[in-house]
Amino acid sequence: MLRFILKRLAAALPTVFGVLVVTFVMARALPGDPAAYFAGPAATREAIEQIRAKLGLDKSVPEQFGIYLRDLAQGEFGKSLSTGQSVGRELVTRLPASLELVLGALLLSMAIAIPLGVLAATRPGSWIDHTARVVTTAGVSLPAFFTGLVLIYVFYYLLGWAPAPMGRLDAFASAPPGLTGFYVIDALIAGEGETFISAVSQLILPIVALAIFTLAPLARMTRAAMLEVLASDFIRTARASGLPPSMVTYRYAFRNALLPVITTLGMVFSFLLGGAVLVEKVFAWPGIGAFAIEALIASDYAPIQGFVLTMALLYVALNLVIDVLYGVIDPRVGLEA
């Protein structure tokens, strides 16, 4: 297992390095001058040049990239010009907020889409099958940020059921002790019931907005994989042997349909990471997506590079987990395949 993990990590190194190069070059190709932005509209040319020299932007791009790699090797992501804080510290502080949002949406999407896909496959042509198609088509047609705005308008502005979209907690709650960085879990561990309720209530609308967007691929893949497995010879043999329908469906068919579903889960997780960027801005969520957008507006290179590198590392870790799950779910695949 350790050899397999090390092999996969070594294979991912060229990809991560390519992401570093492309992000570094593209960040500097974007319109805008961070030195001029932070000097202000009334700054003189000399003042702008002084700031540019202080930031190291007067050096050539290869020189800047070499300095950036040297700092990365020492665990330094640079300093955010917008906040004045270390980018590494900002990412560590904000990443749990984004993961709490993304993982919550993924769990909700799985809880709805997978059973819906299984029911649609076992009852093709029924009202459940048609409902699944309508729901998934509507979900994938609406961008997550637009769904979030609609949810805010309906449940906060019109009905008053949801709290104000002001971040991870309402104005009257204080953050729980930082053990995991996930407010829901930390509040439970600390026994702070009011903080837990506040954290959950703030999570509901953004999680629903992201989950609706990812229902379609997960439900469709579950349905398609289940239909293919249910038409297999061994399923017909199991039914002819008199096994209970529930055992045939869930013990034999569903387990054999899990591999493409797991692959789709990886894709859905990637979609959620990307979709959460705008959803965080809509709900004033203090995650790394909102941090990256603010840095992009200010042409702040270091946070942009740190954000993209963090996303790349998350994708590598996700693909590694999926590869391991393949071998756990179906030993015939094998870890060395």
Structure tokens at 285: 């969520």
Distance CA 92, CA 148 (A): 26
Number of H helices, E strands in the chain: 15, 0
Q: Give which of 275, 271, 305, 268 is closest to 289, Cα–Cα.
A: 275
- Give the pLDDT confidence of 188-206 residue by residue, as tens digits: 998 888 899 999 999 999 9
Token pair 């045939």 is at which residue?
Answer: 248
- Give the pLDDT confidence of 89-111 residue by residue, as tens digits: 888 889 999 999 999 999 999 99
Structure tokens at 174: 């204080």
Encode 109-145: b = buried (16+ Cβ within 10 Å), e = exposed: bbebbbebbbbbbbeeeeeebeebeebbeebbeeebb
Distances (CA, A) of 21 to 27, 82, 128, 259, 289: 10, 23, 48, 33, 21
Query: What is the pTM for the complete model shown?
Result: 0.82
> Given this model, what pLDDT does residue 333 score?
58
SS3 content of the chain, % helix, strand, coil (to 5): 75, 0, 25
Position 153, amino acid:
Y
Position 93, amino acid:
T
> Given this model, what pLDDT does residue 206 score?
93
> Given this model, what pLDDT does residue 334 score?
53
* Those residues with Cβ within 8 angstroms of residue 146's Cβ, 6 or more apart along the chain or in another chain: none
For CA atoms 79, 83, 88, 89, the dihedral sign is positive
The mean pLDDT value for 52-67 works out to 80
Token pair 């043999």 is at which residue?
Answer: 237
Domains along the chain?
A: 90-298 (1.10.3720.10)
Strand partners of residue 79: 86
- Give the pLDDT confidence of 156-176 residue by residue, as tens digits: 999 989 888 888 888 788 888
> Given this model, what pLDDT does residue 107 score?
92
